[in-house]
Structure 1
Amino acid sequence: MPALEAKSALVTGGGSGIGRATCELFAREGARLIVADIDKEAAEQTADLVRAEGGEARVVVADVNRVEQVTAMVAAAIETYGRLDCAVNNVGISASQVGAGGQRVGDISEEAWERLICVNLTSVWRCMKYELLAMERSGGGAIVNIASIAGLVGLPGAHGYVASKHGVVGLTKAAAMDHAAAGIRVNAVCPGYIDTPMRANSWVSPERPIITRPAMKRTGKTDEVAGGVLWLCSDQASFVTGTTLAIDGGYTS
């Protein structure tokens, strides 16, 4: 039996990278998808891939930094499928995307710091707030937040990013404790250096020594991360909550 048979799942940032891989895998495992992304064209491409394999998907254009769009996104899941069983909060930006890659603490601008915290941490809280309310009404569910190895260790030249991802890990643990009695599990996945568009735009390149640190000495693949997300959302992880799963080729070992 498929791991997510007949379950509804919401994936933010579903238009590319880890989000797209997660949508495709979830659909193959029986889930009915809400593909949410600020980029409609990218989200539609993901939905088309899902449908091409016989899956069910609805696209919702949403900026997770705007509360009215987040509430509409969650409402769309309820309207379409009647309930929300799984949610994957995957939206994030790198330090390089705000012009702060490779900077020390004293170098980053106020604007860059606030943008990293807003997108990488506050948006996860905002999405969880409304996902949790929906799951409470449905009688339970599973949430997976996409953090990073930067949520587990320090990385040079990325303190704003590191702070935001440590925040996601802490938020995950606290929410897991708050909502376990309601039958809701909340976990985080901490990917290492994964071959995604965001990593391609990062100030860290494959030639830099930091990439060779993992025991496996390679970047990961998006479907390798999606596999961990699937497990945490499935009933196979029914006794797992408040944990962080590092998928990093041994980087944090």
Structure 2
Amino acid sequence: MITVLAIGIGSGSPAHLTAEAAAALNRVDVFLVADKRAETSDLAAIRTDLCRAVITGHNYRVIEVADPARDRDPSGYREAVADWHARRARAYADVITRELPDGGTLGFLVWGDPALYDSTLRIVEQIRASGVDLALEVYPGISSVQLLAARHQMVLNTVGGPIYVTTGRRLVDEFRPDLGTVVVMLDGDLACGRLVEEHPDLEIWWGAQLGLADEALIHGRLRDVLPGLTERRSAIRAERGWVMDVYALRTAD
């Protein structure tokens, strides 16, 4: 039997780990991480530094698994993601059966929290369905949504009001002021810009690289801050090769 630990690590800072997650890290024999591309090598370094800081007196290995390319055709998004997950699950299953033939404890370091816009748990289920004998444990982490609210010192909901969490891909079609605070994740194109004309009073709380040294925060009326926000985001991407951001929208009082 192989025990799989899906461990939420927040932004990768040891300070963002719960005590339970830190203890889980110290049980892992092998960590599997997706090797995506050279431009994101510093993400691998963050994971490595986290393990060195938290794991004590325990030998472990980190195995990078080449991440399969995903079809980026927006017309077949769901099918492309399903195919990508299936190929990733097969790659992980091959490594697991090769590296842990006699069982042991396998760890996945999950950015943010495993329950929120992350595919790790779905992929683990596919690995188990393929015939690999797994027992799963999940440890929550601090999500980017929690960090965003903390950094801006905001309460996400108004009094008795709702919170609506969606993605940039869905934002324009779904947005309505009566949704309350709308939290947007996975928005590579700042889709909020397409809401300005119809909703000129929208307020935005934006954060990028939350918890990292180059963290950036912007808050204000969307129509006023969007040009500067777009420029700041582009600058981070140019310097890092990647950018992870999240934002909240709400109609200004």
TM-score by length of 1: 0.36
User: Which has the larger share of helix?
Assistant: 1
TM-score by length of 2: 0.36
- Higher RCO (C-alpha 8 Å, min separation 6): 2
Question: Who wins on radius of gyration, i.e. which is larger?
Answer: 2
